[in-house]
Amino acid sequence: MDVNKLKPKAIDLFAGPGGLSLGLSLSGFDIVGAVEWDSDAGATYRHNMGDHIHIGDIKDHSPKEMEKYLKDKGSIKRKSEIILISGGPPCPGFSLIGRSKIANLIETGEWNGSDSRHAFIDDPRNQLFREFVAYVAYFKPKFFLMENVKGMVSYKNQQEVPIITVIKKEFENLGYSVEARVLTASEYGVPQNRQRVIFVGTKGKKQRIRYPEPIGATISLRDALEDLPPVSSLTGESVNEKLSPLRKIGLSDKGLFIRWVRSQKTPNGNQFRNRECTLHHTRPVNPRDQAIFPLLTSGENSSRILYKDIYPSRLEEVENLLPKGYELKRYKTVPPKVIGPPWGQRKSKRWLWYDSSKFGDKMRRMRGDKPAPTIVAHLAKDGYMFIHPDEDRTITVREAARIQSFPDSYDFSAGGKNSISSQFRQVGNAVPPLMAMVLGEQIMCALGLKALLTVSEVYRRD
C-alpha cells in the first residue's frame, strides 16, 4: 500500500523553495500540490520536493484548475480530500516601505474598490492574499496555515482597526475560527531569531489547533556552523569539501542539530555522503572590504563596531590593512594603474565608500554565541549584514541554509541551474523547516494523528 495514501493531503501556495512544504511533509503531510511564481525557486522545489509544483503566476492557476490537475494526476478523487492549505502570500503593505506607501494611498484615497474595511483588501498589490483566500474558499480544507512578516502586527487601518483583525474577518466570513500569533524560530531549534506571524484557521467555530510550546533547545550561530570547513575570503570557496567528523561534535543540542541537518533526506531522496559539504560558497571579498572586515566586531567579546565606526574615523587603519598594491586616494580604494593577477584589468578599479550617516550599519559582524539575526532575501545583492562571526567574509549559501535549518541535502542550485545570487535569495525568502515541522505537528494532533517526526524528537526531548 502507498503510505502517502494514509497521510492527510495539503496544498502549499507561494511555496518558494519549499521550506514550509518540507517541514509539513516531515511531520506527516502529503503535499500533493504547490504553486510558486519564481522559476528558480520553483526549480529548487521540484528538484528537492517533487514534481507536484506549478511554476507560474497563481492568478493563472485557479483553484478549479488545481483540482483538475490533482484529479488527473490521481492525487485526489475529490477536493474534500485536501485537509490543509498553507502558504505565505507576499503582501507589500506589511513591509516598512510598503506600509508607508499604502498609508499614503489610504490618505489620498488612491486605491481601487470601495471596501472601507481596509485598503489592504482592495489594494491590487495584495491580490495574492485574495488568491489565498480564494483557494481556502474553494477547497474548504479543515485547516489553513498562513505565514507572514511580523510587521503586520502593529499595522492598523484608517479606522484604527488592526490589520490582523481585518485578515481574520476575511476567513471568519468563510466559516473559519482563526487565531494569529507571533512565533520566534529560535524557540523551536532553529539557530535564528526569525519572527513571523502565524495564522491558523479551523473549519467551524471551535479552535482546535494549539500553538507549539518552546522545546527548550537554543542553538547559537557558531553551534550551527561548527563542522563546516573554512572559506577563502579571496575566492569565496570552501578550502575543502569535507565536514568535521561527527565524533568531534558530541551529543549536545548542538550535536543533535548538526546530526539532523547532515542526515535528513529530502522527499525526493536527495542525500549526500555523511561528510560531504555542498553550496559552501559566497562572494569573494574585494580589496576594500579585506581591510574593513577585520576591524568589525560583533559585541560578543568586546564592544560592537559597525561600518559607521570605521569610516571615516579609522581610515589610517584601513589603509594599513589593504592588500599589497592597493592604496587610498580621495577616500576611495584604488589599485595601481598596472594590475596583475587576479584582476587582470587594464584600467584601475575603484571601490567607493558608503555614506556612513545613511548606512551606518551597512556592514556588521554576527555574534557567534547567540542565534543569528533574520536571514533575508537581500543576501542576493550583498551579505554585508551577515559577516561571519570568526572569519573575515560574508556567510555562504550553506551557512545561510543551516541558519534556516535546511538539511545539507537540500540543493538550492537545483542541480546547478540556479546562480549563487538566486540561491541566497531563495534561502532568505524561505520558511525554516523546523519551524514548519512544529506547526505541522500541532495540526496533525488536531486531526487526532501522531506526527511522523517532531522537533522534540530531533532534540530528544520526548
* Residues known to be catalytic: 91
Strand, helix or coil at 156?
strand
Query: What cell was used for 254?
Result: 548542538
Q: How far apart are the C-alpha atoms of 63 and 59, rounded to whole Å?
A: 9
Q: How far apart are the first and last CA of the chain?
A: 29
Query: What cell was used for 370?
Result: 547567540
CB 33 within 8 A of CB 66: yes
Torsion of CA 410, 426, 140, 79, to 10 degrees: -50
CB 238 within 8 A of CB 280: yes
Q: How far apart are the C-alpha atoms of 364 and 371, rounded to whole Å?
A: 15
Q: Which residue has the cell 510558486?
A: 36
Query: What cell was used for 209?
Result: 489547533
Which DSSP state fits 162? B
- Determine how β-strand 332-334 pairs with β-strand 327-329: antiparallel
